[in-house]
């Protein structure tokens, strides 16, 4: 689905990603690399295939849009280094030409050397581009002129219909003062957001992105 925000064209992809064609930039949030391995190390049985499928989805997006830049608005790495991260390094080598920017999130606690070894350019606390400012957790009361696009909360929306029907989806949130991207990783939960008047919510269903 394509929308216009602050004079720029934005493509909302059902694989929980945002593409900015003018800048050839693909933005995702909350990748949580290494989360499944972190659970396994702690004795909780989470199959590694879930992390691998996140990487396959990311590859698919890169083949689809062929962006110059991949921007991650925080929580790229869940905890420390582990085998999931090794898998990511291999992936990174396969896309060596891709510029990779990370706006640091609360989970991103790796060392500078680790980021450098994976050719990740760090931006802390934010990365600004055109009318937008990408930041992990949107400021609650900002005086900034740029429109913040954030992640962090793993937004979800519950649609309530007649006859007591309810559906819940991950979503993109475009509010009056900031926007929130859905969490990219499939191994994440949802936090319900409630739009005020004139604010826009786009639900991510298995087949499409739908405005609600």
Partner 1 sequence: MDQTKTKGYKQVKQWLKTHKRKPFQFQEEAWQYYLNGYSGLVNAPTGFGKTFSLFLAVVIEALNASENSNKKAKDRLQLIWITPLRSLAKDIARAMRETLLELELDWHVGVRNGDTSQAEKVQQKKSMPEILLITPESLHLLLAQKGSSTLFKNLKCIVADEWHELLGSKRGVLVELAVSRIKGLQKQEKQQFLRVWGISATIGNIEEALDVLEPDADTKRIIVKADLEKKILIKSILPDDIETLPWAGHLGLKLAYKLLPIIEKSKTTLIFINTRGQSEMWYQHLLNIEPELAGRIAIHHGSIDFELRNWIEDALHTGQLKAVIATSSLDLGVDFKPVDTVVQVGSPKGVARFLQRAGRSGHSPHETSKIYFLPTHALELVEAAAIKEAAKTNNIESREPFIMVFDTLVQYLVTLAIGDGFDDKVIYNEVKNTHAFKMILPEEWSWVMQFITSGGDSLSAYNEFKKVTKDEDGLWKVKSRQLAMRHRLHIGTIVSDAMLKVKFLSGGYVGMVEEYFVTRLKAGDNFRLAGRVLEFIHVKDMTVIVRNSKQKNAISPSWNGGRLPLSSNLGSVLRKKYNEALDKTHQDEELDVVYPLFLLQEKRSHVPRNDELLIELINNKEGFHLFAYPFEGRLVHEVLAALVAYRLSKLLPISFSIAMNDYGFELLSETEIPMDESIAYEVFSPKNLTEDITLSINSTEMARRKFRDIACISGLVFQGYPGKYVANKHLQSSAGLFFNVFSDYDPHNLLLRQAYDEVFYQQLEEPRLAAALERIQYGAIVITHPKSFTPLSFPIKVDSLRENMSSEELEQRISRMKAESDKIK
- Where do contacts with partner 1 occur on this chain (CB under 8 A)? 37-50, 53, 78-79, 82-83, 107, 159-167, 186-189, 203, 205-208, 210, 212
Which residues touch 9 (CB under 8 Å, ≥6 apart)? 2, 3, 20, 21, 22
Cβ atoms 34, 84 nearer than 8 A = yes
With respect to partner 1, which residue has the nearer C-beta, 36 or 126?
Answer: 36
With respect to partner 1, which residue has the nearer C-beta, 25 or 85?
Answer: 85
With respect to partner 1, which residue has the nearer C-beta, 37 or 72?
Answer: 37
With respect to partner 1, which residue has the nearer C-beta, 67 or 156?
Answer: 156
Minimum CB separation of residue 85 from partner 1 in Å reads: 11
Minimum CB separation of residue 36 from partner 1 in Å reads: 9
With respect to partner 1, which residue has the nearer C-beta, 46 or 98?
Answer: 46
Minimum CB separation of residue 69 from partner 1 in Å reads: 29
Sequence length of the chain is 212
Minimum CB separation of residue 60 from partner 1 in Å reads: 16
Tokens at residue 46, please?
């989470």
Distance CA 85, CA 80 (A): 9
- Give the single-character DSSP code of 207: S
Cβ atoms 152, 179 nearer than 8 A = no
Minimum CB separation of residue 86 from partner 1 in Å reads: 10
* Nearest alpha carbon to residue 72 among 163, 166, 151: 151
């Amino acid at each position: 689905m394509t929308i216009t925000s602050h004079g720029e064209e934005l493509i909302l992809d059902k694989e929980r990603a945002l593409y900015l064609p003018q800048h050839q930039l693909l933005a995702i949030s909350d990748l949580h690399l290494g989360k499944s391995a972190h659970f396994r190390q702690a004795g909780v049985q989470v199959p590694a295939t879930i992390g691998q499928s996140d990487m396959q989805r990311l590859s698919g997006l890169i083949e689809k849009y062929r962006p110059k830049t991949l921007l991650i608005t925080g929580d790229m790495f869940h905890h420390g280094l582990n085998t999931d991260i090794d898998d990511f390094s291999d992936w990174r080598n396969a896309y060596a030409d891709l510029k990779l920017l990370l706006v640091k999130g609360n989970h991103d606690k790796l060392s500078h050397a680790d980021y450098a070894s994976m050719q990740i350019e760090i931006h802390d606390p934010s990365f600004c581009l055109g009318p937008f400012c990408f930041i992990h957790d949107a400021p609650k009361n900002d005086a900034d002129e740029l429109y913040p696009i954030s992640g962090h909360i793993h937004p979800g929306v519950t649609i309530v219909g007649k006859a007591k029907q309810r559906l819940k989806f991950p979503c993109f949130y475009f509010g009056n003062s900031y926007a929130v991207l859905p969490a990219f990783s499939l191994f994440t939960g949802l936090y319900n957001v409630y739009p005020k008047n004139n604010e826009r919510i786009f639900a991510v269903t298995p087949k499409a992105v739908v405005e609600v």
